[in-house]
């Protein structure tokens, strides 16, 4: 057996999901109506609403308690707000801290 024939399938038969398949998977995972992922993407113009970077490795941002989807963030900002416990107050304190440290206040 060729070394690429592992439990994930052979290199030859494995194929990248189409955008439509990825959208359908995410809509199912986050209980979103069909077409809503693409609508969010278009509304955000394919950009992260926090850092304004192009969404190359997008993450669906959702409330971990209610499950409500808030938007699509980049692979840095989504874990970033999670590390600050999804707290607006923590984000404000982080802003003050960083502005003071950078001497911009
Ligand atoms: Zn971002």
66 C-alpha vs ligand 1 centroid, how far in Å? Answer: 22
Q: Is residue 2 part of a domain?
A: no
55 C-alpha vs ligand 1 centroid, how far in Å? Answer: 8
The DSSP element (H or E) to which 81 belongs, if any, is helix 77-83
Full residue range of the structural domain in which residue 94 is found: 19-102
Residue among 33, 18, 69 nearest 78 (CA): 69
84 C-alpha vs ligand 1 centroid, how far in Å? Answer: 14
- Up-side HSE of residue 104: CA atoms within 13 Å toward CB? 6
- Quick one: pLDDT at residue 5? 55
Q: Is residue 62 part of a domain?
A: yes
Q: Is residue 86 part of a domain?
A: yes
Q: Is residue 93 part of a domain?
A: yes
- The number of distinct structural domains making up the chain is 1
Domain at 30, CATH number: 3.40.1800.10
Q: Is residue 46 part of a domain?
A: yes
28 C-alpha vs ligand 1 centroid, how far in Å? Answer: 24
Q: Is residue 83 part of a domain?
A: yes
Tell me the chain's radius of gyration from C-alpha atoms. Answer: 18
pLDDT by residue for the chain (105 residues), tens only, comes to 455 555 565 566 778 889 899 999 999 999 999 999 999 999 999 999 999 999 999 999 999 899 999 999 999 999 999 999 999 999 999 999 999 999 998
């Amino acid at each position: 057996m060729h070394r690429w024939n592992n439990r994930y399938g052979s290199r030859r038969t494995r194929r990248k999901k189409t955008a439509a398949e990825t959208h359908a998977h995410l809509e199912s995972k986050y209980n979103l109506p069909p077409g809503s992922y693409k609508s969010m993407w278009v509304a955000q113009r394919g950009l992260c609403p926090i850092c304004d970077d192009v969404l190359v490795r997008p993450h669906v941002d959702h409330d971990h308690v209610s499950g409500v989807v808030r938007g699509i963030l980049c692979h840095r900002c989504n874990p970033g707000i999670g590390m600050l416990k999804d707290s607006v107050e923590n984000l404000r304190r982080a802003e003050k801290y960083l502005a003071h440290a950078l001497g911009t206040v």
